[in-house]
Amino acid sequence: MVNIAVLGYGTVGSGVVEVIQTNQEIVNKRAGQEVNIKYVLDLREFEGDPIQKILVHDYDTILNDKDVKVVVEVMGGVEPAHTFVKQALENGKSVCTSNKEMVAKYGAELIQIAEDNNVNFLYEASVGGGIPIIRPLTSSLTCDDITEVSGILNGTTNYILTKMRDEGAAFADVLREAQEKGYAERNPEADIEGYDACRKIAILTSLVCGQQVDYEDVHTEGITKITEKDFLYAKALKGSIKLLGTYQRMDGKAYVMVAPMIVSEKHPLYHVDGVFNAIFVHGNMLDDAMFYGRGAGKLPTASAVVSDVVDEVKHMGKNIMQIWEPGKLELGNFDEWKHRFLVRIQSADIDDVDMEDVKEAFGDVLYIKAPGVENETAFVTTPIEEGKFKEAIQKFNGVLNTVRVGF
């Protein structure tokens, strides 16, 4: 029998307990021995809940119990989670977590501590919730040179964008509805400003490249400027708008970004709607693959956490090698990354926009019209460097919005 402790009895923590208790026989069989929840750590009391019998309020109770071999960290936040995890690893306990903030900031450090102490630090649930992506990248695709990872990494923003597209609704209205349904937090900043997706693509890029990517260095844009009219133009281009976290390697340089992008109907990410997430991967041997499912939620996320518990029990006393060095990855200059852009300019007539000025600034462009949209001129540029686009667009008055046009 292997004793484990769960840190935090919130949404995911209670889900971990439920998954293990509901599928106890399956979990035990696949782990090779019985998995027993000895402790649950939380500051609150849960009168009437059977968990009360194993509830503790002092982390040292878990840390000092040599019978606890695996610690499940599902508290969230960077501290005290980081301190607790570090102490557990140093005391010879394996740890698994769903904590993307902590993994993005301290992943390389914690992996090294685990290796030094012959235990494991696993974090499958930190990126795609219930979608398996960490293990495929570190175990299944180890012979591939991964040159691109692009993902819809946040269910809240994907739900909002899907509703805006399908119903022609305004961003503020859909956000309010998402909050009422529990898909968005009361303070949705981390989701709608792209910070959540930023941490996740930083983790994935770190794994693919084997070096630390600081999420503070990732160019990040949210969805707050996207309007119903942007979707009409996207439809005219036979595409839809998605918030993507993207890693690409070109000419030996790694580029990383989070931003809304018009995705063609021919690309598999186009069909990912609602609260679902998906991660598209391109490798030189694999070619294209996509991992799809619920990127959040109590039981999907808990399922991924428990899969790490099983893996750690199976590898008791043996460190699972991971390549994520603490040395910082030097990213390519974002201003040199090339994209196409949809540009919308306020105008009563297309003649109000000097086409010669447009050509001088952007070269040959594709002018487009969207049914039902008036008093605007819109065009799509050819691929242009980010820095040059930023400089060129400043020469025009009345710019309503710009959106990158992707795959």
Does the CA dihedral 120-121-127-128 come out positive or negative?
positive
Name the nearest CA neighbour of 174 among 101, 227, 216, 235.
Answer: 227
Query: Which DSSP state fits 269?
Result: G
Residue 200 known to be catalytic:
yes
Which amino acid is present at 2?
V
Count of CB atoms situated within 10 Å of the CB of 224: 15
DSSP E strand boundaries for 347-407: 366-368, 376-380, 384-385, 399-405
Six-digit token string for 323: 């390549």
Report the C-alpha gap between 23 and 21 in whole angstroms. 6
Name the nearest CA neighbour of 70 among 290, 324, 244, 314.
Answer: 314
**Residues belonging to the chain:** 407
Name the nearest CA neighbour of 282 among 143, 405, 140, 145.
Answer: 145
**Residue found under tokens 């820095």:** 387
Report the C-alpha gap between 151 and 334 in whole angstroms. 19
Q: Exactly one of 100, 200, 242, 298 is catalytic; name it.
A: 200
SS3 content of the chain, % helix, strand, coil (to 5): 40, 25, 35
Asked whether the beta carbons of 169 and 163 are under 8 A apart, the reply is yes
Q: Give CA torsion, residues 90, 96, 101, 105, to 10 deg.
A: 40
Count of CB atoms situated within 10 Å of the CB of 369: 14
Q: Which residues are catalytic?
A: 200
